[in-house]
Amino acid sequence: MMDRRTKISILLMSGCQALMNSTTSIMISSAALASLLLLGDDKSLATLPVTAVVTGTAIATIPASLFMRQVGRKMGFMFGAVIGMTGAAICSYAIWIGHFWAFVFGAILVGMYTAFGNYYRFAAVDIAGEKNRSKAVSYVLAGGVIAGFIGPQIASHSKDLFAPFLYMGSYLAIVLLGFLALLFISFVKIPKMHIPDHEQAQRPLSEIVRQPTFIVAVLSAMIGYGVMSLVMTATPLAMVGCGHQPSDSFNVISWHVVAMFGPSFFTGNLISRFGEYKIILLGALLGVSSVIVSLSGLELANFYIALVLLGLSWNFMFIGGTTLVTTTYKPSETAKVQGLNDFLVFGTVATASLMSGQLQERFGWDVVNYGALPLLAVVILLAFWSLRTHSRRVAAG
């Protein structure tokens, strides 16, 4: 059981997660629209700022982990929030002066903030301890439920605050969210790494990554997040192309985000009861179900059901993989393994987001969904093999 202080810290970390995800939601829902106003006649680069956010996350993931190893997680999270606030301020200024590339640069900095914030879930494990690691991870990620509702709403209601500079208010709102994150973090007590742990002999990464458990954990998170990004990014384009209204796509994405983070309230309990491998397997099967629904029709209900299933798939695969990867390294190896894990995950997300629009534009919605099937099949086979291997070990005593 967690004590009162630990529960408060986990709650504050969940709040930080909600604020960070709200920032990401604002970027995703408004960056392309703001870019249309900053670009000239050629609008082909309108989605570049969204890709810049994901790219900034990928390139800063390992440096963020190593930085926090030196100065501590708390200082690292505060530094990351300042980077995000700076990026949002640059985006606001870019809208004011009408400079597209300055806007892209600001988006990269916001993505770097996300790289720091993605370690909230690992910090939760440090706070709650090994026995409560699955619950701690899921409780922190549950903060994303709030972001699913408030992020796009903030973008919508603040975009006209500084008219005629549309969306300038949305990025100044991100600055305010960063201040709140700094406030929350200041009250969180995160244990520091003990000197004996810090001085433990470290295995080379080549040895760590060859562990079957590590391979399953990382592939689950990579593919779960990558498939989600691949399909979600193409969804608004596919819906509008099928004759649905843009407002319909907004509602579908909102419920998708809720489905991503909503189960986090009980995913940790499910992992504690059934184990990581079964939850990962369930997540991959839900992903396959999402593809089947998507391919069965183009009605509004198909998009709603498919994207909710996709969100559930992401939740089980990502939280299952995150929890499992924490069992594969020593305390002294934390920074480099977590950094590698997130670099691989968000590098995959960046690649998927770049491919999604191209696949949708050139080949259509069906091809986007078919592309997810072989990736999900890999996770299903690995999870099933791991379950059988684990059962044999248990049977052998």
Q: Decide which of 131, 162, 189 is a domain's last residue.
A: 189
| Residue 171 and residue 226 in one domain | no
* Degrees, nearest 5: CA angle 340-346-352: 135
Which tens digit of pLDDT belongs to each residue from 94-121?
999 999 999 999 999 999 999 999 888 7
Long-range interactions of 45-51: CB distance < 8 A, separation 24+ = 45/100, 47/357, 48/104, 49/103, 49/104, 49/107, 50/107, 50/233, 50/353, 51/350, 51/353, 51/354
Residue with tokens 């072989």: 374
Residue 46 is part of which domain span? Answer: 1-189
| Residue 218 and residue 163 in one domain | no
Q: What are phi and psi of 182, to 5 degrees?
A: -60, -40
Residue 198 lies in a domain: no
CB 91 within 8 A of CB 110: yes
Q: Decide which of 142, 165, 189 is a domain's last residue.
A: 189
- Rounded to two decimals, the pTM is 0.76
| Residue 248 and residue 168 in one domain | no
Establish whether the linkage from the previous residue to 164 is cis, with ω within 30° of 0: yes
| Residue 183 and residue 210 in one domain | no
Residue 386 makes CB contacts below 8 A (sequence gap 6+) with 212, 213, 216, 277
Residue 197 lies in a domain: no
Give the C-alpha distances (Å, rounded to integers) separating 236 from 111, 245, 272, 301, 378.
Answer: 22, 9, 36, 14, 27
Which tens digit of pLDDT belongs to each residue from 80-89?
999 999 999 9
Distance of CA 234 to the CA centre of its chain: 17
Reported as a pLDDT band with limits 50, 70 and 90, residue 2 is: low
Residue 344 lies in a domain: yes
- Per the model's pLDDT, the better-predicted residue between 317 and 234 turns out to be 317
Q: Decide which of 189, 223, 253 is a domain's last residue.
A: 189
Give the C-alpha distances (Å, rounded to integers) separating 123 from 118, 244, 322.
Answer: 10, 42, 12
Distance CA 73, CA 338 (A): 13
| Residue 164 and residue 216 in one domain | no
| Residue 231 and residue 332 in one domain | yes
Residue 113 lies in a domain: yes
| Residue 184 and residue 210 in one domain | no
| Residue 175 and residue 230 in one domain | no
Predicted confidence (pLDDT) at residue 193 exceeds the cutoff of 80: no
Distance CA 222, CA 276 (A): 15
Reported as a pLDDT band with limits 50, 70 and 90, residue 195 is: very low
Predicted confidence (pLDDT) at residue 306 exceeds the cutoff of 80: yes
Share of the chain above pLDDT 70, in %: 94
- Per the model's pLDDT, the better-predicted residue between 90 and 386 turns out to be 90
Distance CA 315, CA 321 (A): 10
For the chain, the average pLDDT equals 85
Which tens digit of pLDDT belongs to each residue from 215-259?
999 999 999 999 998 898 788 778 878 888 867 877 787 788 889
| Residue 218 and residue 180 in one domain | no
Report the CATH number that the domain containing residue 330 is assigned in CATH.
1.20.1250.20
Which tens digit of pLDDT belongs to each residue from 250-277?
778 778 888 988 887 788 888 888 888 9
pLDDT at site 168: 94
| Residue 178 and residue 122 in one domain | yes
- When divided into structural domains, the chain yields a total of 2
| Residue 361 and residue 319 in one domain | yes
Among 28-32, 95-99, 130-134, 140-144, which range has the highest average pLDDT?
95-99
Predicted confidence (pLDDT) at residue 349 exceeds the cutoff of 60: yes
Residue 351 is inside which H or E element, if any?
helix 334-362
Amino acid identity, position 60: A
CA-nearest of 130, 174, 143 to 13 is 143
Residue 297 lies in a domain: yes
pLDDT at site 397: 60
| Residue 182 and residue 297 in one domain | no
pLDDT at site 134: 67
Distance CA 182, CA 168 (A): 22
